[in-house]
Structure 1
Amino acid sequence: MFLFILKILFLLAVSTAGNTVQDDLPELKWSKQYSLEAKKISLTSGLVEDLSYWRTSKKSRVDYNKGAIKQISVKRRGKNFGLQYEIHPETTEEYINKFICQKTKGSISNPITLTDILPSTSDFIHTGKEILEMGEVDKFVYLEEDLNQKTKKYIWAFLDQSSSSWIPVKLEEFVYNSWLGRLKTHNEWNYFNYKPEVNSSVFDIDQYNCTESDDSESTNIDVNNKSHVDRVFTKFQEKHNRNYKDENEHELRRQIFENNLRLIQEHNSKDSTFTLGINKLADQTPEEMERRKGLLRRKEGETGNVPFPYTKSNLSEISQNLPKEFDLRLLGVISPVKDQEDCGCCWTIGTTSAVEGALARNNGGRLLRLANQALIDCAWGFNVAGCNGGSDTGAYHWMMKYGLPTEEEYGPYNNKDGFCRIHNMTKTFPIKGFTDVTPFSIEALKVALINHGPLSVSIHATDLLTSYISGIFYDPTCDPSSLNHEVTLVGYGEYEGDTFWIVKNSWGKNWGIDGYFHISTRDNSCGITTEPTYVVF
């Protein structure tokens, strides 16, 4: 609230300074379509860029480096999330400066948006007039400040009296590190050759023979054409550095890859809330995928030692005021995504992430990287078996007795069982206990996430999840009673009326949505509300 009031006072001050402020000016906003050229000068890095720009309400194009790089974005409605074309020159032994075009389809998690080189005009305040090289123009200022950063923007524009529209002339941006009192970024943009109309031909891409990205190709390829499958499989091997030991393994992997292509195409041809695509797991056998899970169910009747502190009536009252969206990653209490590879240790990664988040929230926001490898090496006496699997309760009971050390002292995750070194540690972080959240309750899960999260949750990870690349995952074949994978719940959100949980997985940053996936809140999707837990310090 203080920062908001500070911002308002600043804008009121600058808006009343001087005698040149005109209250009868129309609102500063840009035309729905226009073209211009710009020179961007970074006074902090010394970089100078020349750009050409075209914009309509549904399309944008930016040319960089005197037209060498062209980026065309197309906004689309409905279930199409836009298109983007990246065009660049390539020179090889066969040709010189040949334009290559890559087409990318947007998705629910990564929709294509139009590129803007003019700032949003909301919150800019008119402060008077100034004389630039072209003559007298109007000046506007914008200020935003939080605990870490302060941003100032000044834009100069003049009003075209014939059309009552604003024409940009210059933009200057300053970004300061508030803690250090240091200038981080200082950019200056000069705009010229502004035109209020756009010839639609500038968006034509037919001459560039654009090819689709790998994910699009997995949907469009003819899986009954051997040469097509071979071509995509070769690209997959190159992208993921696959080197098979002999022809037999090569043929086995290719057959698995082809089967997954068929699964991807069959799914994507249906009306679904999520999309499948070729990812790094496209050549893995079901047995290998089991090694990328590893959850063993807790013993019957085994529950947390700290009771859930909310009654049904408490939850009903609190849930009336919950935010529509919540994401703990924005609070800086979620560590980077790990890749468990072929060690069945999801039970250590999901629980360790919960401990890291709880510790950060308990110590003023300081996030420490804790060593899940210690659980793999040392917790065998708690009914767990290292890379051969374990339970969340086994992990918690061990952490109650010994505590987790930091990765810095114990060592990083190494995808293998190892010698236990817990008794050599100078400091560990034991937990007081863990709490089982009321099962099968969306409200209880949201309240626990906001007040105590992140949470370690158990799910049934199916074959469809293996090929997930975007969207809100919902697989009716999931069996909520057959939980086989431990993951970390970090938030929830909403898209076009569908609500979803934001889940951190342990299959690497290059899987899913940067290592995460969104899963529907409907019907206890894949068992996510069956056994959620959080830790207590």
Structure 2
Amino acid sequence: MAATAAILFLVYLFNLSSGYVLIDDNENLDEILTLPSEYSIKAERIDLIADLKLPMELWYSTEINRSRVDVYDGMVKRYYYWGEDGAMGSDGTVYMAYPKWTEKEGHTIFCSKTDMYQETPVDAFPAEEEYVYADDMYIASFTRGFIFEQWLPTSGSDIERCRQVLQYLIQMVPNAENVDTSKTYHEGQTVDVWKFTEDDDDTRKELVLYSHRTERGEDVPVQIEKKEFNTMLGSLEKHVIFNYDQFNPLFCEEDVDAEKEGLCEWTPDDFEGHMKMLHPAFHNDLGVAFNSFKKHHARNYQNKKEHDMRRDIFHKNWKFVVDHNRQNLGFKLALNHLSDLTPAERAHMSGGRRSPNPSATVPFPHSERQVGDIVTQIPEEYDMRLQGIISPVKNQDKCGSCWTFATAAAVEGALARLDGRILDLSEQSIIDCTWEGVCEGCNGGWPKEALKHIMKHGIPLEEDYGGYLNENGYCHLENVTEVFKIRGFTLVTPLSVSAMKVALYKYGPVIVTIQNNDAFNFYRSGVFYDPTCVDDYVGHAITIVGYGSRDGTDYWIVKNSYGEQWGEDGYMLLSSSNNNCFVLDEPYYPVV
């Protein structure tokens, strides 16, 4: 019992996991990481944060510039060819074979291919340029086959103390008497330890690679552990382990021949087509995907540091999208032009704020009882887009001007209901000229204040005032000959679904401010419902242009200001249940 207590105390003292502990001095070893250039190997990717395990088999050859990745025992196969001209003269071609089911034919294997833009081959091993051989004292413990590590000072007294402790612990572990404490072992074989660390702003990335040196002088990884920390919050945000097994240096060209999958059809040479062929679990697919993203969105970064930062953000969002879509929650997400932005940059775009004292110049004209009567007489579904009174979707870009776009869209719709004309009003004029009180242009503002401004000063056409700048500009309303004013604005009865439907059918569009998050930012299709929305001061202003129902779920039709590439051609179907994301807290419509 005393021995057990001593062991537990020592394990606690050194913050080590359960199991036996070994020291690796690794003297007189070649400190250059030499990864194999041709091989086949089996692997599993374990995401400890998402609790997901992905079995893989990989083939790789720099001799013939080809590689292949299978997942789930070959259920899905990807072939990568470099140096072959694709349909658009790209760096190569990626082929993907996967099962497809139809009621007529049942399961068949479908093969598609697309151009690939990446200069280096897809390798199973992530080779960081700055891997450092671990020549400091290294403590490794093994728990359920996973390796956890802790670096200790290497002063003489500490080394001797650790050796004594470790020797004692090893004596207490059955069948460990023949273990050499001068080496690190994994799965019964001696391994070398390599480490890569990178600090960038509030993120710290750590990679540890455990490799076995072959008689050919190649370092074959047996495990790679990746961790990513948010140093500001002190949280572990990413923890992935790759376990490798059954390494084979012999390579058969037939194994990477995509032609055996049959006739492969070309998919569109665009970002969306590429993303159907790739997966965020494969670290080398990241290079292909990010290059396609940069080309599609015309991204040019200042330097390598920013490039790598944007790539890591893109990768994190890609995994978020894939993990969400596999849950089948009723709506789908997709990567878009926001995928490489930091959370702070996306939050800056959400510049719509709710007033602490909601008020209006024109009272809502219906009592709760009247609303109950009217809502039974109006259509069950109503879409203003079908009435020809909604202007095209616009893109606010990185300026936090959503409050101006939502307001201008509502005024455009109200004026179109009046005389049938669809006007293109100037959001830039609201940014430049509405600085009374709390509004701060691209730093955010209140739709209510924008409505007050249009009541008093009016809003001009964009062609008269000048185009959207995506920046704060000089107010020059005095140079515009014609402006459009509203008589006032109305606050729809808050938290009332029926009142909102009545307002939309009789008076809309309606401006609302919601709490948006990553799921909202990457929305693609379906009825959006997110119970994780948090009611804080940051919000996003949108315009509601109708309502409807799909598969028994009621929704609002949202016109957003992220461009037509976002959502369903710039629109979202937002669930009307449970005041989702606080959509009914403060709804306004302009009175013309």
TM-score range normalised by the length of the shorter chain: 0.5 to 0.7
Does residue 576 of structure 2 align to residue 521 of structure 1?
yes
Letter in 2 for 1:343: C
Does residue 361 of structure 2 align to residue 305 of structure 1?
yes
Give the corresponding residue for 2:284: 227
Give the corresponding residue for 1:489: 544
Does residue 390 of structure 2 align to residue 367 of structure 1?
no
Does residue 344 of structure 2 align to residue 293 of structure 1?
no
Aligned-pair CA distance for 1:218? 4.7
Aligned-pair CA distance for 1:278? 1.7
Letter in 2 for 1:421: H
Tell me the C-alpha RMSD between the 2 structures. 2.7
Give the corresponding residue for 1:80: none
Letter in 2 for 1:489: I
d(CA) in 2 for partners of 1:405 and 1:290?
Answer: 28
Q: Give CA-to-partner distance per residue, 1:351-380, whole Å, 9 cap, x none.
A: 1111111111122x1111111111111111
- Residues 446 and 525 (structure 1 numbering): CA distance in 2 closer, same or farther, change over 3 Å? same
Does residue 240 of structure 2 align to residue 240 of structure 1?
no
Does residue 332 of structure 2 align to residue 262 of structure 1?
no
**1:317-396 superposed matches below 5 A:** 317-363=373-419, 365-396=420-451
Letter in 2 for 1:374: S
Aligned-pair CA distance for 1:517? 1.0
Q: Is the 8 A contact 1:382 1:397 kept in 2?
A: no
Give the corresponding residue for 2:494: 439
Aligned-pair CA distance for 1:271? 2.6
Alignment match of 1:407 (pick from 462, 465, 468): 462
d(CA) in 1 for partners of 2:445 and 2:522?
Answer: 25
Does residue 480 of structure 2 align to residue 419 of structure 1?
no
Aligned-pair CA distance for 1:332? 1.6
Gaps of 5+ in 1: 1-89, 106-204
Aligned-pair CA distance for 1:288? 1.0
Alignment match of 1:271 (pick from 312, 328, 338): 328
d(CA) in 1 for partners of 2:345 and 2:422?
Answer: 32
Q: Is the 8 A contact 1:101 1:211 kept in 2?
A: no
Give the corresponding residue for 1:534: 589
3-state SS of paired residue (1:337): coil
Aligned-pair CA distance for 1:276? 1.0
3-state SS of paired residue (2:436): helix
Alignment match of 2:512 (pick from 454, 457, 460): 457
- Residues 346 and 93 (structure 1 numbering): CA distance in 2 closer, same or farther, change over 3 Å? closer
Give the corresponding residue for 1:316: 372
Give the corresponding residue for 1:511: 566
Give the corresponding residue for 1:28: none
Gaps of 5+ in 2: 1-85, 101-260
- Residues 222 and 361 (structure 1 numbering): CA distance in 2 closer, same or farther, change over 3 Å? closer
Give the corresponding residue for 1:9: none
TM-score of the superposed pair, with normalisation by structure 1: 0.60
Q: Give CA-to-partner distance per residue, 1:224-260, whole Å, 9 cap, x none.
A: 3211111111111111111111111111011101111
Q: Give CA-to-partner distance per residue, 1:153-195, whole Å, 9 cap, x none.
A: xxxxxxxxxxxxxxxxxxxxxxxxxxxxxxxxxxxxxxxxxxx
d(CA) in 2 for partners of 1:479 and 1:312?
Answer: 28
Q: Is the 8 A contact 1:483 1:527 kept in 2?
A: no
d(CA) in 2 for partners of 1:209 and 1:371?
Answer: 46
- Residues 251 and 450 (structure 1 numbering): CA distance in 2 closer, same or farther, change over 3 Å? same
Q: Give CA-to-partner distance per residue, 1:458-482, whole Å, 9 cap, x none.
A: 1111111111111111111112454
Q: Give CA-to-partner distance per residue, 1:403-457, whole Å, 9 cap, x none.
A: 1111121112211111111122212112111100011111110110010011111
3-state SS of paired residue (1:381): coil
3-state SS of paired residue (1:370): coil
**1:29-108 superposed matches below 5 A:** none
Q: Is the 8 A contact 1:102 1:210 kept in 2?
A: no
Give the corresponding residue for 1:85: none
d(CA) in 1 for partners of 2:471 and 2:273?
Answer: 36
- Residues 102 and 437 (structure 1 numbering): CA distance in 2 closer, same or farther, change over 3 Å? farther
3-state SS of paired residue (2:589): strand
Q: Is the 8 A contact 2:351 2:538 kept in 1?
A: no
d(CA) in 2 for partners of 1:400 and 1:383?
Answer: 17
d(CA) in 1 for partners of 2:279 and 2:475?
Answer: 51
Q: Is the 8 A contact 2:274 2:292 kept in 1?
A: no
3-state SS of paired residue (1:321): coil
User: Among the aligned pairs, what percent are the same residue?
Assistant: 41
Q: Give CA-to-partner distance per residue, 1:127-160, whole Å, 9 cap, x none.
A: xxxxxxxxxxxxxxxxxxxxxxxxxxxxxxxxxx
Does residue 529 of structure 2 align to residue 477 of structure 1?
no
